[in-house]
Amino acid sequence: MEISFYLVQLLNGIQYGFLLFLVASGLTLLFGIMGIINLAHGSFYMIGAYLAYWLSGMTGSLWLGILLGLPLALLLGYAVERFAISFLYRRDHLYQVLLTFALILIFNELQRILWGNNVHGVPIPEVLAGSIPLTENQVYPIYRLFISAACIVIAAAMYWVIQKTRLGMMIRAGSSNREMVQALGINVNRLFAIVFSLGVALAAFAGMLAAPVDSVYPGMGENILIISFVVVVIGGTGSIKGAFVGAMLIGLVSTFGKVMLPEMASMSVYAMMAVILLWRPQGLFGRAV
Amino acid sequence: MSNEEKKGITRRDLIKGTAATAGLAAASLFVPPRFAIGAQAKVKVGFLLPYTGTYAKLGTFCRDALKLRLAEAGNKLGGREIEFIDVDSEANPAKAPELTNRLIKRDKVDFLIGPVHSGVGMVMVKMARGDQGPITVVTNAGADQLTGSLCAPNIFRTSFSSYQMGYPGGPVMLEDGHKRVALVYWNYGFGKEVAAGFKKSFLAGGGTLVKEIPTPFPEVDFQAYLTELAALKPDAIYTFYAGGGAAKFVKDFAAAGLKDSIKLYGAGFLTEGVLEAQGAAAEGVRTVLHYADTLDIPENHKFRAAFKKATGQEADVYAVQGYDAGELILRGMEAVKGDTGARAEMIRAMETAEIASPRGKLRFSPSHNPIHDVYLREVVKGENRVVRVAVKDQDDPAEGCSM
Amino acid sequence: MLSLRRYLPLLLALLALALFPLVGSSYYVGLLSRILILAIFAMSLDLLIGFTGLVSFGHAAFYGVGAYALAIGFQNAEVIHLWQALPLSLAAAALAALAIGWVSVRTTGIYFIMITLAFAQMFFYFFFESPRFGGDDGIFLFLKPVLMVGSEDLLGLDKDSNFYYFTLTCLVLAFLFLKMILRAPFGRVITAISANEHRVQALGYATNRYKLVSFVMAGTLAGLAGFLEAAHTGYINPAYLSWHESGVVIAIVILGGMGTLYGPVLGAFMVVLLQNFLPELTPHWQLLFGGIIIAVVLFLPHGVASLFPKVADLGRGWIGGSPSAAKKVDSHKEAQP
């Protein structure tokens, strides 16, 4: 294989890493920063994709669809937090696991009732529909570059908000010691509700952006759920930077694993996760346990 | 801390609750056998199909089409009324033993129809085969063993074996002039069997397999493989993907600009049920299947119109397979005039049946697997048009079947 | 005696279970066997979740290993001897638990949950992608294990009711075994660990070692459940190791009531019966099922078993001692902060 082959694979790996970070961003916020185990993350991703399909079909434009869909996702997140998650903060993580597991069942069934069983596509917006030639017979779709760019923007925004703003400080404090923050006079309930809504909206947003590339079908959330957790755990909870690095690492290992070790492709990511956790149980950039 | 008694559940509530639970438990233990007052007991047709999850559409279409066929025959099997029993398999093999058991032992169905998923099919056929088991018609699951090592007189299939999905690909590609081919497929039981069938005919016909690329199931990130294909530069590729994976593969393949340099072929599921999602990316893609929506025979037109009228949806191959299963059990019951006890005669009628199916002529091999024409289709303007008959009367070697 | 009264409900339940095959049809005996197997699986997880404070999201891996050991080891055997097959399954599961546990117990909290999940996934993909072990088509077993004495098979597992009693015996033995170790000093230590690990460490205990032993015991028992399942249905498939199954068994433990050992048994009954009967109410039964789980999480966090101390107290009032004596005991308990 020539060098261009490996270069293109490198590009594939990096781009996959960007996509993974985007898809896992909602979980990074909820699980990584807030410590909430949200198994329904894949369901929110799926809901985002279906919203994109439905709204862009109605309005004829993906942008309008996303614009209309985001407030809906925020509302959904708020409702889930207020009516379910908020009762579980004081309790063991176990209950979050179980409750969000039940949410998966519920959302799957709701999706079936609302939108049926077919596989749907969402057309790529005209302005992004072209491609860039890479090699003599392979081109690169511009939309994928757009997704990568969106990911970088989100990553930077998340990092800045969490690390450099007052809101971020409150979030980080609230997740490590809720009572103390409350004692300092900050409305923790509202804070957590806002953050949870943002996390859900991020997951949905990723689903909306990825819909033109991924297609929209029942059960699509399952595929990204586990890998999203792996991203956050490898990167280390509490760290946006870690999640970013984790996503990149997985993107590269997964891509090159497929080419060099095809039999072990599925296991390679989990094996890597096991090795990293052996060495550093808190993940690459996580807070020390 | 106050000394107050916790309110909460009172004694009365507890007694009520316990009584209710006990009552429910007791009632469930003694489910009365369903007797029909009058002439004959109803014939029980049990479905083990996925009604939820990724394959929900396939399960629903299969059941609806079978019901349609029976409705066309006056909703009677051999002159008897029918009772339908639905069980959602969720396409989950871990649940299959329990669910199959329910249909066979508790509900005591006369006919067992399904499933979609091959893993579920393996369990179902293993449990149903034998003199005590119901007459079983497999309406989608393609695992070769179902009419191979697990074959039995009471097991029929109206769908296909994975061999029949792969084998016709070889002659098709050679006839189209592609000698250097790569094989790309989802690496799990069904995909592997399709690939094996393809390799057998393609290599025997003198083709060269440039590379065999099994991709992890159910992952749908194909970029690395597309890049590999671009570097290998085969004339064409033969693929197996289905559902969301098929939609993505075809779209990604086109998006990578490979459509012009590498011809895309596949087992039929590559373009079944996903054409709307694939859009322009699917144009020109050729696939091999025992059915095509646009098949121009009167039985097909009649069927499609009836299905559309009954369900409001456009039929597809999964519906056809269910429809043919309905026809098959109708024939069986007709031959014995509704007497489900006359098994040998009913089976004889079923295995010698020649059905004018929407797919063309359908008959059955000694292992009760379909023998049907396999078509080469090409996507033209968003629909699968038949190019030619790829293989006439495609059979299946039924390895390991001792019938 | 107080202890007999306390165990009376359990003994009554056991009696009901023992007598069931006399009244139930063959289908329901088979269904109950499945429930009992799940109960063993869930009980083993309760040791981890309820008593050691370790939330394992990969417990299905050991269940699967126990099942696969039987299937792979005896796939083409002419006869399956219980004394060969059962130790093989248990040893395989124990080994897997030792390997995974040794790495995992060094982590805590959410990391532990995630790493057990990751390992379970590895096992899942290993079996899924292995052509030799059946892949995703699974493996069939056409024989049942036998226990030969001379030329007589003591077990007769082909018969539904015999298999049922075999499973019930395993359940009772597992229950007694767990009760015994929890009563012993070992049990006290792990219960203390789940309450406050640092304090136990400060007392000089090597907590990781205790956690590992607990993990291995739980894994071995899960392997027993897997062995029974494979023997029962004669089929094993990688789907048994999926994270879905791990999730469902966590649900069973919590719905039933963790930290009680009999709670998971209740939970197994509840979940299987719900899964059997809800679909007959509506095709959208998953909504109901999810809703029930959420309701239990929010309103009945200690599971169905938490309803039963109240029954026991009522019993105390009816059988012996006045209801007011029972009330006094209640209020004394609740006075504790």
pLDDT in 10s for each residue of chain B, 403 residues: 444 344 444 555 455 445 445 544 554 444 444 444 445 789 999 999 998 888 888 999 999 999 999 999 999 998 899 999 999 998 888 889 989 999 999 999 999 998 999 989 999 999 999 888 999 999 999 999 999 999 999 999 999 999 999 999 999 999 999 999 999 999 888 899 999 999 999 999 999 999 999 998 888 889 999 999 998 999 999 999 998 899 999 999 998 889 989 999 999 999 998 898 898 999 999 999 999 999 999 999 999 999 999 999 999 999 999 999 999 999 999 999 988 889 999 999 999 999 999 999 999 999 999 999 999 999 999 999 999 999 999 998 888 898 8
B119 touches chain C (CB under 8 A): yes
C83 touches chain A (CB under 8 A): no
In three-state secondary structure terms, B1 is coil
Question: Nearest residue on chain C to B186, judged by CA atoms?
Answer: C129
- Residue indicated by tokens 């056998």: B33
Give B-chain residues touching C240 at CB under 8 angstroms.
Answer: 94
C113/A93 CB distance under 8 A: yes
Q: What is the mean pLDDT of residues C113-140?
A: 86
pLDDT of residue B39: 52
φ, ψ of residue C16 in degrees (nearest 5): -60, -45
A127 touches chain C (CB under 8 A): no
CA torsion through residues B295, B301, B305, B311, sign: negative
Given a cut of 90, whether residue C76 has pLDDT beyond it is: no
Token pair, residue B233, equals 């530069």
Q: C83-97: per-residue pLDDT in tens? A: 899 999 999 999 999
Q: What is the mean pLDDT of residues C166-194?
A: 92
What letters, b where the CB count within 10 A reaches 16 and e where it falls short, cover B371-398?
bbbbbbbbbeeeebbbeeebbeebbbbb
pLDDT of residue C322: 40
B53/A118 CB distance under 8 A: no
pLDDT of residue B387: 93
**Residue B249: in which H helix or E strand, if any?**
helix B243-255
From first to last of the 289 residues of chain A, give the pLDDT tens digit. Answer: 678 888 889 999 999 999 999 989 888 888 877 888 899 999 999 999 999 999 998 988 889 899 999 999 999 999 999 998 888 888 888 888 889 999 999 999 999 899 988 888 888 888 888 888 877 778 888 998 999 999 999 999 988 988 888 888 888 887 777 788 888 888 888 888 998 999 999 999 999 999 988 889 888 888 888 888 889 888 887 788 889 999 999 999 989 888 888 777 777 888 888 888 878 877 888 775 4
Contact A239, A158 (CB under 8 A): no
Give A-chain residues touching C251 at CB under 8 angstroms.
Answer: 98, 101-102
Give B-chain residues touching C239 at CB under 8 angstroms.
Answer: 92-94, 119
Q: Is the whole-model pTM more than 0.90?
A: no
Q: Mutation test of the interface with chain A: which of B92, B221, B311, choosing the one with the most A Cβ atoms within 10 A?
A: B221
In three-state secondary structure terms, B183 is strand
pLDDT of residue C310: 59
- Residue indicated by tokens 């000698």: B179
Comparing C36 with B6, the larger pLDDT belongs to C36
Rounded to whole angstroms, how far apart are CA atoms C217 and A181? Answer: 41
CA-CA-CA-CA torsion for C279, C282, C287, C292, nearest 10 degrees?
-70
Cβ neighbours of residue C199 under 8 Å, at least 6 residues apart? Answer: C192
| 3-state SS string for A75-105 | HHHHHHHHHCHHHHCCCCHHHHHHHHHHHHH
pLDDT of residue A1: 65
**Closest approach of chain A CAs to the CA of C5, in angstroms?**
32
pLDDT of residue B158: 95
Give C-chain residues touching A275 at CB under 8 angstroms.
Answer: none
**Closest approach of chain C CAs to the CA of B3, in angstroms?**
6
pLDDT of residue C313: 55
Partner B, chain C 231-260, Cβ-Cβ below 8 Å: 232-235, 237, 239-240, 242, 244-245
Paired residues of C186 in beta bridges? none
pLDDT of residue B9: 45
B215 touches chain A (CB under 8 A): yes
φ, ψ of residue B74 in degrees (nearest 5): 80, 20
Please report which residue ranges of A165-264 form alpha helices under DSSP H: 166-176, 178-183, 188-214, 220-235, 240-260
Q: Mutation test of the interface with chain B: which of A20, A217, A223, A263, choosing the one with the most B Cβ atoms within 10 A?
A: A217
Interstrand relation of A139-141 and A131-133 (parallel, antiparallel or unpaired) = antiparallel
Cβ neighbours of residue A61 under 8 Å, at least 6 residues apart? Answer: A125
pLDDT of residue B365: 94
Least Cα distance to B186 among A225, C136, A139 occurs for C136
Secondary structure percentages of chain C, helix, strand, coil, to 5 = 75, 5, 20
Question: Nearest residue on chain B to A121, judged by CA atoms?
Answer: B277
Q: What does the angle CA C101 – CA C103 – CA C106 come to, to the nearest 5 degrees? A: 95
Cβ neighbours of residue B210 under 8 Å, at least 6 residues apart? Answer: B180, B181, B182, B232, B234
Rounded to whole angstroms, how far apart are CA atoms B381 and B403? Answer: 45
pLDDT of residue C138: 86
C115/A233 CB distance under 8 A: yes
B26 touches chain C (CB under 8 A): no
Give B-chain residues touching A121 at CB under 8 angstroms.
Answer: 247, 251, 276-279
Whole-angstrom CA distances from B379 to B270, B284, B376, B383, B385 are: 11, 5, 10, 5, 6
Rounded to whole angstroms, how far apart are CA atoms C146 and C168? Answer: 17
Count H helices, E strands: chain C?
14, 6
C136/B188 CB distance under 8 A: yes
Give B-chain residues touching C245 at CB under 8 angstroms.
Answer: 94
* Packing angle, helices B118-128 and B189-204, rounded to 10: 100
pLDDT of residue A60: 86
Question: Nearest residue on chain B to A1, judged by CA atoms?
Answer: B231
Counting beta carbons within 10 angstroms of the beta carbon of residue B334, is it exposed (0 to 12), middle (13 to 18) or buried (19 or more)?
middle
Paired residues of B155 in beta bridges? B136
B387, HSE (Cβ side, Cα atoms, 13 Å): 17
Q: C231-266: per-residue pLDDT in tens? A: 998 889 999 999 889 989 999 999 998 888 889 999
Nearest beta carbon to residue A112 from set B56, B243, B252: B56
Model ipTM? 0.88
- Residue indicated by tokens 């789940």: C194
**Closest approach of chain A CAs to the CA of B187, in angstroms?**
9
A274/C126 CB distance under 8 A: no
pLDDT of residue C27: 87
Strand ranges inside chain C, DSSP E: 80-81, 139-140, 145-146, 148-149, 152-153, 235-236
C27 touches chain B (CB under 8 A): yes
Comparing C318 with C198, the larger pLDDT belongs to C198
pLDDT of residue C328: 41
Q: How many other CB atoms are found less than 10 A from the CB of residue C55?
A: 23
Q: How far apart are the first and last CA of chain B?
A: 77
C23/B29 CB distance under 8 A: yes
Given a cut of 90, whether residue C218 has pLDDT beyond it is: yes
Q: Which domains does chain B have, with CATH numbers?
A: 43-159+295-364 (3.40.50.2300), 164-289 (3.40.50.2300)
Question: Nearest residue on chain B to C137, judged by CA atoms?
Answer: B119
pLDDT of residue C142: 85
Give B-chain residues touching A118 at CB under 8 angstroms.
Answer: 57, 273, 276
Given a cut of 90, whether residue C324 has pLDDT beyond it is: no
A118/B276 CB distance under 8 A: yes
Q: Is the peptide bond before B218 cis (omega within 30 degrees of 0)?
A: yes
CA torsion through residues B32, B34, B40, B43, sign: negative
pLDDT of residue C336: 37
φ, ψ of residue B219 in degrees (nearest 5): -70, 145
Nearest beta carbon to residue B221 from set A16, A120, A123: A16
Question: Nearest residue on chain B to A131, judged by CA atoms?
Answer: B255
Interstrand relation of B43-49 and B80-88 (parallel, antiparallel or unpaired) = parallel
B12 touches chain C (CB under 8 A): no
Neighbours of chain B (3+ CB pairs under 8 A): A, C
**Closest approach of chain B CAs to the CA of A120, in angstroms?**
5
Rounded to whole angstroms, how far apart are CA atoms C108 and A241? Answer: 22
B168 touches chain C (CB under 8 A): no
C247/A277 CB distance under 8 A: no
The alpha-carbon radius of gyration of chain B (Å, integer) is 24
B225/A258 CB distance under 8 A: yes
C128/B106 CB distance under 8 A: no
Q: What does the angle CA C105 – CA C108 – CA C112 come to, to the nearest 5 degrees? A: 70
Given a cut of 80, whether residue C168 has pLDDT beyond it is: yes
Token pair, residue C197, equals 């690990």
Rounded to whole angstroms, how far apart are CA atoms B318 and B61? Answer: 6
Q: Is the peptide bond before B358 cis (omega within 30 degrees of 0)?
A: no
Cβ neighbours of residue A40 under 8 Å, at least 6 residues apart? Answer: A80, A100, A101, A103, A104, A107
Q: What is the mean pLDDT of residues C314-336?
A: 41
Give A-chain residues touching B256 at CB under 8 angstroms.
Answer: 138-141
